[in-house]
Amino acid sequence: MPQSAEKVLDHAPLFREPEYRRMLAHKKLNFECPHPDQLVTDQREFTKSWEYRELNLAREALVVNPAKACQPLGAVFAAAGFERTMSFVHGSQGCVAYYRSHLSRHFKEPASAVSSSMTEDAAVFGGLKNMVDGLANTYQLYDPRMIAVSTTCMAEVIGDDLRSFIENARDENAVPRDFDVPFAHTPAFVGSHVDGYDGMVKGIVEHFWKDRQRSAAKGTINIIPGFDGFCVGNNRELKRLLDLMGVAYSFIQDASDQFDTPSDGEYRMYDGGTRIEDVKAALKAEATLSLQYYNTRKTLDYCQEVGQETAAFHYPLGVQATDEFLMKVSALCGKEIPEAIRLERGRLVDAMADSQSWLHGKKYAIYGDPDFVYAMARFVMETGGEPSHCLATNGSSAWQAELQELLDASPFGADAQVWAGKDLWALRSLLFTEPVDLLIGNSYGKYLERDTGTPLLRLMFPIFDRHHHHRFALMGYQGGLRVLTTILDKIFDKLDRDTGETGVTDYSYDLTR
Amino acid sequence: MSLQYDNDGALHAKLIEDVLERYPDKTAKRRKKHLGVARSGEAPGEDGAVVSECEVKSNIKSIPGVMTIRGCAYAGSKGVVWGPVKDMVHISHGPVGCGHYSWSQRRNYYVGTTGIDTFGTMQFTSDFQEKDIVFGGDKKLERIIDEIEGLFPLNNGMTVQSECPIGLIGDDTEAVSRKKAKEHDKTIVPVRCEGFRGVSQSLGHHIANDAIRDWVFDKKEIAFEAGAYDVNVIGDYNIGGDAWASRILLEEIGLRVVGNWSGDATLAEIERAPKARLNLIHCYRSMNYICRHMEEKYGIAWMEYNFFGPSQIEASLRKIARHFGPEIEARTEAVIARYRPLVDAVIAKYRPRLEGNTVMLYVGGLRPRHVVTAYEDLGMVIVGTGYEFAHNDDYQRTGHYVRNGTLIYDDVTGYELEKFIEGVRPNLVGSGIKEKYPVQKMGIPFRQMHSWDYSGPYHGYDGFAIFARDLDLAINNPVWDLFDAPWRERPRRRAIAAE
């Protein structure tokens, strides 16, 4: 009997015990009707081949393990970055359960959102009644300052019109006439979560800025972070830098406190977020800066329409990307970059110099959202690494071209390949046929790590199977230091593992590296 | 070792009154029917006796805007019933999200070479684009099935799990499935589990069950002769290995588990099920439909059982054994006796650390009642429980488990659950990922009762030891005593160090 009260074995050790191994072998043999082992082995080997890769990359319809989610997730994340804002997703209710679970599993935090719970009758007659009743209930139960409405694909397919529905709801006194209910149509069959983010942020600023007079306040800027699983660390780090510079700035969308509430006995359904007054005032800013261009294209267009200058970055981390960001802020706001920040920069460069011998020539596969992949490729090249495969399932041809330009400009990008629209099953073939030293992505990459043996660095949303990484910044020089250390730890841990066998490989098991 | 206690029904009734006050009138009227306090039934006693009555309405549409915790039909079919069938490819047919959020999240353990002969922790999607909505996705689905055949030739079949748009745009997934099944000589099962169907996950279970009946049973000659002791385990999804910790017991008492539905299952196990002698059903809610069908059509009896906690395991093993006669009964007594020292040791170790702690539950399926006795075996007290997607028959069955005065909440809203927990201040809450962090912020220990909080198994004797350990580590962790900054400290209970 494997189990005992003294040493309780859970699933990981329990099923390795002989009783269970015997039982499972017996089950397979007698009841599962499995394929012969040889057939399985042959197919497994075949999937490692160039021939399989070609079949795999030639897929036209099937998508396997895509690294993207759908629009409303981005909208719910976006809404979480505003003061006392409740997300209201119009359509089927199961979707909302999924978004909330998904965000909670990454942040290890509460994630609130409500659904209009449309069912078959709403599919036939439209969801107006659900919207009216739903807004009234949400308003009364959850005491929001604002309700941000987005849509599931069900509501989009039947063509519910949010603008008129919300108007109707006001007419029926579901919410007070002057209560803020911005909205965004977020069809799941267009784009991905980054577009839903864009849509919702645009919906919110448009709600507050539309038809208002704008008198530009010189030297003030807005920052839109984009969909960022590391917002907790990143936003706080960026604020620190901007405060050091003495800049007048306002974050438009900031979920850093909402997804990092303290444990002190009180459950805060809402915490932090951009204040509504600040969103209104942000119209006056001289410029709006996006930290992730591909997350904010429509919002930036709108900012230009209202007369703001705009600038966009690709997830500024590492040396040059942070340089560019700070110099742009400095130019826009007329503030010097202080010496303290220059020293921070120097410390990151110092660390990179200390470790360069371990990084030079290392090959990477990087996947994730378009701006993140761009940023990582750039930083990897700054360390002397080679981003062999850069993949974004939600990357467009414009992204591909822009990233290619970056790669072409560096000798470290000479052998790099950019894969827009491909999924992680395609990446599996790429890793088998053109292997790399390290894989940068999120938790889903663990299956690639298992199959191909490529060590995985979890640096992007979602991270389910490691805790608290998102509480630390990746952006800025400090963030660069964290990314650098994460990469180095992985390299050294692997080297130690590979050289750790006593009397066989441990001559290389060096104390100092 | 049945625990005798009453709960504070008056407090619970007051809490219900209070939460209803917050709603708009129309909503309060509707919600009122779903909330209640269990009242004493007949005297508690023998196995199967009704100890209380839980009269709440259930299986009714959720109210918009209240933050229901429920999911959808797709979650019930792809997420629960079909997803665990490991040697089939399950296509999430429609936009990318549904498959993405449900990817690898149920912890249905299986053994196999993923991507080669098993496909459980993968996400196959048709990733619908606007043009698919406008022009329909049937052609794309055909192509997807062909591509799966090319890249994953060792799949033993496929299912097409319809997402919301499929039913709205009028695609004919049945025709595509029929055509392609013939072409590739494979089982291809279209499942009409669009998320807007029904009021919760529950209809998805039913639709998934019906799909087994209509698209799997009697489609092939099954060369299998059943022995006298052949059973199917139905409604065990092998979360964290639950079905394995159950199977080992059933084998020990002399039965042969010829099919496990659907944790760690292959299509062959589903196909052969009608040949078994008895269906043992654990999750009644999600799979009673197919058991009733097998009873009607193939004459297979079915029996509910409960493998949570030693009291229920013993009672269930004996009940199962009775069905098979003296030989199995004798072996069963030997198995119960063999495990008795483990049970005694687990209870001796953990009961003193858990005794008297109060628990609130809010889960789906069978757990809001099935786990009650497991807690009581450890001296804990269930003060409230509720289901996401139960029907009337579930609440009837709940009366066999919960005590007089227990707070009952059907399809609870975020607001109600928070207020109930605040008002009751239980020592532990068992619910899902969405509830975990709000509860923990209040300083109340929590265990996820869907995923076993990444632990498990919890079924069987081996699982009970893990269950007990997990409750101990949740309740007696020192972190709960650190919530108050010392400069504004209020006295709190003390943690007990792990042994």
- Look at B455 and A66 and tell me if their CB atoms are within 8 Å: no
pLDDT score, position B229: 98
Regarding whether A177 and A77 lie in a shared domain, the answer is yes
> Does the residue A40 lie in any domain?
no
Averaged pLDDT, B404-409: 96
Token pair in block for residue B28: 């309060």
Of A149, A174, A209, which residue sits at a domain end?
A: A209
**What residues of B are in contact with residue A130 (Cβ under 8 Å)?**
64
pTM of the predicted model, to two decimals? 0.97
Report the domain count for chain A. 3
pLDDT score, position B187: 98
Reported residue count of chain B is: 499
Nearest CB to A43; choose among B153, B346, B443: B153
Which entry of B12, B93, B106, B247 is annotated as an active-site residue?
A: B106
> Does the residue A16 lie in any domain?
no
Regarding whether A344 and A492 lie in a shared domain, the answer is yes
> Does the residue A506 lie in any domain?
no
Q: Yes or no: say if B302 and B295 are a contact pair by the CB < 8 Å rule.
A: yes
Regarding whether A201 and A179 lie in a shared domain, the answer is yes
> How near does any CA of chain B get to the CA of A128, in Å?
11
Token pair in block for residue A108: 């290890």
pLDDT score, position B55: 85
- Give the SS3 label for residue B239: strand
Nearest CB to A108; choose among B150, B197, B437: B437
- Look at B97 and A70 and tell me if their CB atoms are within 8 Å: yes
- B469 is known as an active-site residue: no
> How near does any CA of chain B get to the CA of A369, in Å?
15
Burial B353-379 (b: 16+ CB within 10 A, else e): bbeebbbbbbbbbbbbbbbbbbbbbbb
If you search the block for the tokens 């090319």, which residue do you land on? Answer: B150
- The Cα A30–Cα B233 span in angstroms is 16
Q: A450: part of which helix (H) or strand (E)?
A: helix A446-452
Q: Nearest-CA residue of chain A relative to B421? A: A267
Strand-by-strand arrangement of the A217-224 sheet: A248-251, A217-224, A285-290, A309-312
pLDDT for residue B2 is more than 80? no
> How near does any CA of chain B get to the CA of A122, in Å?
9
- Look at A55 and B148 and tell me if their CB atoms are within 8 Å: no
Regarding whether A143 and A100 lie in a shared domain, the answer is yes
Task: Encode pLDDT of B110-139 as tens digits.
Answer: 999 999 999 999 999 999 999 999 999 999
Helices (H), B299-361: 310-324, 326-354
pLDDT for residue B493 is more than 60? no
- Look at A137 and B65 and tell me if their CB atoms are within 8 Å: yes
pLDDT in tens, chain A (513 residues): 899 999 999 999 999 999 999 999 999 999 999 999 999 999 999 999 999 999 999 999 999 999 999 999 999 999 999 999 999 999 999 999 999 999 999 999 999 999 999 999 999 999 999 999 999 999 999 999 999 999 999 999 999 999 999 999 999 999 999 999 999 999 999 999 999 999 999 999 999 999 999 999 999 999 999 999 999 999 999 999 999 999 999 999 999 999 999 999 999 999 999 999 999 999 999 999 999 999 999 999 999 999 999 999 999 999 999 999 999 999 999 999 999 999 999 999 999 999 999 999 999 999 999 999 999 999 999 999 999 999 999 999 999 999 999 999 999 999 999 999 999 999 999 999 999 999 999 999 999 999 999 999 999 999 999 999 999 999 999 999 999 999 999 999 999 999 999 999 999 999 999
Mutate to test the interface with A, among B100, B129, B197 (most CBs of A within 10 A): B100
Task: Indicate the average pLDDT of chain A.
Answer: 98
Q: Yes or no: say if B370 and B235 are a contact pair by the CB < 8 Å rule.
A: no
pLDDT score, position A400: 98
Task: Encode pLDDT of B232-281 as tens digits.
Answer: 999 999 999 999 999 999 999 999 999 999 999 999 999 999 999 999 99
Regarding whether A199 and A233 lie in a shared domain, the answer is no
pLDDT for residue B41 is more than 80? no
- B39 is known as an active-site residue: no
- CB A7: neighbour CB atoms within 10 A? 10
> Does the residue A38 lie in any domain?
no
Residues 351-390 of B with CB under 8 A from A: none
Regarding whether A235 and A160 lie in a shared domain, the answer is no
Regarding whether A429 and A375 lie in a shared domain, the answer is yes
Domain range for residue A194? 71-209
B9-62+354-454 maps to CATH 3.40.50.150: no
CB-based contact (8 Å) between B95 and chain A?
yes
Which entry of A89, A114, A153, A181 is annotated as an active-site residue?
A: A153
> How near does any CA of chain A get to the CA of B6, in Å?
28
Q: Is B222 exposed, middle or buried (0-12, 13-18, 19+ CB in 10 A)?
A: middle
Regarding whether A484 and A425 lie in a shared domain, the answer is yes
Residues of chain B with CATH 3.40.50.1980: 9-62+354-454, 73-216, 230-342
Regarding whether A228 and A189 lie in a shared domain, the answer is no
Residues 385-444 of B with CB under 8 A from A: 413-415, 418, 432-434, 436-443
Q: B377: part of which helix (H) or strand (E)?
A: helix B372-377
pLDDT score, position B40: 79
Q: Yes or no: say if A280 and A217 are a contact pair by the CB < 8 Å rule.
A: no
- List the beta strands (DSSP E) in B148-208: 157-162, 187-191
- Look at A134 and B65 and tell me if their CB atoms are within 8 Å: yes
Q: Yes or no: say if A90 and A151 are a contact pair by the CB < 8 Å rule.
A: yes
Residue B4 banded pLDDT, cuts 50, 70, 90? confident
> Does the residue A82 lie in any domain?
yes
Helices (H), A224-369: 231-245, 276-281, 297-305, 319-333, 339-359
Q: What count of Cα atoms within 13 Å lies in the side-chain half-sphere of residue B49?
A: 11
- The Cα A501–Cα A508 span in angstroms is 10
> Does the residue A123 lie in any domain?
yes
| Cα–Cα separations (whole angstroms), residue B262 to B225, B234, B238, B271, B468 | 21, 7, 8, 12, 26
Regarding whether A346 and A323 lie in a shared domain, the answer is no
- Give the SS3 label for residue A316: coil
**What residues of A are in contact with residue B251 (Cβ under 8 Å)?**
23
Pick the CATH number of B73-216 from 3.40.50.10860, 3.40.50.1980, 2.60.40.420, 3.20.20.140: 3.40.50.1980
Averaged pLDDT, B172-199: 98
> Does the residue A511 lie in any domain?
no
- A231 is known as an active-site residue: no
Of A178, A209, A240, which residue sits at a domain end?
A: A209
- Look at B199 and A119 and tell me if their CB atoms are within 8 Å: yes
Whether the complex's predicted ipTM is more than 0.90 is answered with yes
Residue B45 banded pLDDT, cuts 50, 70, 90? very low
Mutate to test the interface with B, among A4, A10, A156, A195 (most CBs of B within 10 A): A10
> How near does any CA of chain A get to the CA of B50, in Å?
33
Regarding whether A230 and A152 lie in a shared domain, the answer is no
- The CATH number of the domain holding residue A368 is 3.40.50.1980
Of A337, A370, A386, which residue sits at a domain end?
A: A337
Architecture of domain B230-342: 3-Layer(aba) Sandwich (3.40)
Nearest CB to A137; choose among B63, B117, B257: B63
- Give the SS3 label for residue A352: helix
- The Cα B319–Cα B287 span in angstroms is 20
- The Cα A138–Cα A185 span in angstroms is 19
If you search the block for the tokens 């940023």, which residue do you land on? Answer: A375
> Does the residue A303 lie in any domain?
yes
